[in-house]
């Protein structure tokens, strides 16, 4: 819990600070007087002022921030300060100030992705383990042990890249072009025919729905860690225990163990365990929880000992300084386009709105990414930064994109929209964003706590 809270504070603090600093920096460059720079909402925990009179604050509710600028629409302005008022600045300068926040998020994403590519990472090649009988992949001619090299003409080097390429096609009809090669270097092209593929599905499964199952190494049923207070802990299981049998039936590997336990919620099981060369009989009753389909499954609260992939299944991605920057910019662009495409498909009903996530999901994923290491956490930060930049550019009043629409209309008309029109748009925008936030939190609660 502490790790999750700390990761969430770092994530929100960093992204919000960069976003608001973009507005702040450009406003200062344009000669606008900044009254307050706040990270968070509500009562300030700490605050101080600089020589130019700007108050800096860190507030109690870390779900956003704001830059308050001198503006005649928000209060009286002394005659000698009118030239520093935001509303008195030329429309192009106001556009620059508003656009600077999302732009700062994109710049941060480029930096973070560049760090990821610069540090280098080792991942598993996209080797096919199994092809489901009668599946789309089987009909297209894909076979086990093939290595996927391209999806829709774009090179892929690991399963993450394959997944991102497939996700872009969710809700569509047509053909997914996949190139694959064998261990001998022979390359073949395959067309996977899709029709409204995974349309409206909550938590889409790109691989399983196509019938593609990644190659998995057999993981021995040996315990690496036992969670405190879990069913396994209560039963007396310990680190390095090897589980040989359940109810007299041999256990082949960790996957077999998981399937047996999940099929037995609240049902007492007899385990044959090997511990330090001795065999013990242990009774264990898995606890129950709901999975994503509303079904009760059992869990015992243990983690397996990891296994190492042979070198021939691994790929190391490394780039030089300039190469990392180029890859970082390319990745930022790709994720921005993917986010926009997903929003558009959601509006069109091709992607389920149940996939909208809120602060609870961000907190949980932040904590999980930290536990996986520095590179996954940096990648997570970059992705959320891209999402924040894209969402703030949506043409919704109250967001930066809505203000940009007002100023672009003013630029075209030669005069601003009436104050009554802008206030109406603001009220509608607040209502829309408020509704989306409530819906996102409901999805979070449903996904993580209710399980349906």
Catalytic residue list = 20
CA torsion angle 6 371 352 290 (round to 10): -100
Q: Is-contact 201 346, C-beta < 8 A?
A: no
Q: Each residue of 128-145: b (16+ CB within 10 Å) or e?
A: bebbeeebbbeebebeee
Q: Is-contact 359 63, C-beta < 8 A?
A: yes
Query: How far does Cα 245 stand from its chain's mean position?
Result: 38
Segment 149-156 long-range contacts (CB within 8 Å, at least 24 positions apart): 149/179, 149/180, 149/181, 149/187, 150/177, 150/178, 150/179, 151/176, 151/177, 151/178, 151/179, 152/176, 152/177, 153/177, 156/126
Distance, in Å, from the CA atom of 154 to the CA atom of 178, rounded to the nearest integer, reads 9
Distance, in Å, from the CA atom of 447 to the CA atom of 292, rounded to the nearest integer, reads 7
Distance, in Å, from the CA atom of 205 to the CA atom of 406, rounded to the nearest integer, reads 40
CA torsion angle 343 117 25 67 (round to 10): 40
What number of other Cβ atoms are within 10 A of residue 252's Cβ? Answer: 11
3-state SS assignment for residue 111: helix
Q: How is residue 233 written in tokens?
A: 């802990």
């Amino acid at each position: 819990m502490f790790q999750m809270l700390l990761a969430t504070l770092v994530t929100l603090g960093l992204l919000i600070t960069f976003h608001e600093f973009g507005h702040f920096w450009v406003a200062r460059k344009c000669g606008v007087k900044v009254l307050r720079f706040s990270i968070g909402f509500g009562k300030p925990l700490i605050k101080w002022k600089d020589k130019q009179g700007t108050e800096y604050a860190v507030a109690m509710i870390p779900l956003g921030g704001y830059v308050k600028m001198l503006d005649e629409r928000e209060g009286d302005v002394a005659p000698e300060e009118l030239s520093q008022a935001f509303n008195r600045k030329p429309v192009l300068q106001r556009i620059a100030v508003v656009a600077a926040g999302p732009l700062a998020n994109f710049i941060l994403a480029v930096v973070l992705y560049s760090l990821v590519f610069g540090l280098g990472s080792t991942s598993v090649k996209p080797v096919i383990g199994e092809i489901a009988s009668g599946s789309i992949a089987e009909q297209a001619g894909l076979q086990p042990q093939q290595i996927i090299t391209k999806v829709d003409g774009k090179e892929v080097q690991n399963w993450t890249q394959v997944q991102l390429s497939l996700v872009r096609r969710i809700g569509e009809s047509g053909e997914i072009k996949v190139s694959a090669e064998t261990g001998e270097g022979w390359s073949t092209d395959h067309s996977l025919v899709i029709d409204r593929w995974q349309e409206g599905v909550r938590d889409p499964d790109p691989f399983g729905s196509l019938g593609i199952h990644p190659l998995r190494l057999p993981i021995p049923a040996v315990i690496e860690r036992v969670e405190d207070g879990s069913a396994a802990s209560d039963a007396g299981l310990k680190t390095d225990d090897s589980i040989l049998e359940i109810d007299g039936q041999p256990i082949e590997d960790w996957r077999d163990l998981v399937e047996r336990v999940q099929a037995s919620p609240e049902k007492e099981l007899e385990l044959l365990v090997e511990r330090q060369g001795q065999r013990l009989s242990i009774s264990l009753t898995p606890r129950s929880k709901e999975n994503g389909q509303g079904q009760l499954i059992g869990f015992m609260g243990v983690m397996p000992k990891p296994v190492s992939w042979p070198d021939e299944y691994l790929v190391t991605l490394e780039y030089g300084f300039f190469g990392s920057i180029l890859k970082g910019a390319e990745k930022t662009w790709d994720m921005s386009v993917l986010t926009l495409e997903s929003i558009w498909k959601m509006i069109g009903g091709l992607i389920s709105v149940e996939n909208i996530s809120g602060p609870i999901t961000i907190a949980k994923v932040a904590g999980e990414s930290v536990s996986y290491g520095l590179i996954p956490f940096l990648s997570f930060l970059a992705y959320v930064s891209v999402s924040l930049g894209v969402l703030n550019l949506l043409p919704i009043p109250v967001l930066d994109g809505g203000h940009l629409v007002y100023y672009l209309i003013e630029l075209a008309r030669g005069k601003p929209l009436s104050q009554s029109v802008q206030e109406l748009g603001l009220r509608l925008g607040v209502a829309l964003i408020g509704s989306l936030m409530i819906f996102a939190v409901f999805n979070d609660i449903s996904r993580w706590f209710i399980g349906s």
